[in-house]
Structure 1
Amino acid sequence: MQMPQQPPVLRDRVLAALRQQPRATVQQLADQTTAGESAIRQTRRALVELERAGLAARQPGHRPQGGRAPDFWQPTGT
């Protein structure tokens, strides 16, 4: 299933926020760039698009005791 593309304006805001705060979580970026109920979902989609374009990289979260930790995102060198 292909996700709908996010408006370029949101992708640009997410990328700008990511460059200001490397190693940010989706929640942190959503708080900075969008408002409303679907903020996290929209931010996650924008990050996936940025990752596919080679502009962002995901680092999986890790908890030593197991469980799910949030992933961290960072801008790439391109």
Structure 2
Amino acid sequence: MGGCCTRAGAREAYEALLDSLKEAGALGKVSVVPVDCVDMCSDAPVLRQLPDRKWARRVSPAWAARLGRDLAKDRRAR
């Protein structure tokens, strides 16, 4: 994680995402990969969701946790 994202709460959002996936039993079914700086400091912290290539900006821990729950539901539906 880059410095701007870390200062803006990326670590906390990352942990919230992992925790929500773990609680839903989907941690091994969804890949979460932290990356180095992506040069989007004004929108930090950011998250990119694949395969849709959607970007999320100013990601909060609450939003990340909600995403984790939604991804877990999607994985169970398949």
Q: TM-score normalized by structure 2?
A: 0.29
Structure 1 or 2: more helix by fraction: 2
